[in-house]
Amino acid sequence: MIYGKVMDSKAIIPVVFRLASQPDFSLDFVIDTGFNDHLNFTTTSSQCDESSLIL
């Protein structure tokens, strides 16, 4: 499962990079799903934090 957030109508996920002998660092990436319509949410899902995203 991929966890992310929605900002400015864009799906954003952080990717953590782990390099040998270096501290971990994270970069945010925009996921282009190709989806161009609107989403309908059930009552249960609409009670979640609207900035959360699970793919």
* Model pTM above 0.85: no
User: What's the mean pLDDT in 33-41?
Assistant: 67
Summarize pLDDT for 4-21 with one digit per residue, the tens: 888 887 888 999 999 999
Q: What is the mean pLDDT of the chain?
A: 76
Confidence of residue 27 (pLDDT cuts 50, 70, 90): very high
Note whether 52 and 46 are within 8 A (CB): no
Q: What percent of the chain has pLDDT over 70?
A: 65
How far apart are the C-alpha atoms of 47 and 29, rounded to whole Å?
26
Name every residue whose Cβ is closer than 8 Å to that of residue 55 and which is 6 or more positions away in sequence: 1, 2, 4, 11, 13, 31
User: Helix (H, G, I), strand (E, B), or coil: what is residue 8?
Assistant: coil
How far apart are the C-alpha atoms of 16 and 1, rounded to whole Å?
15
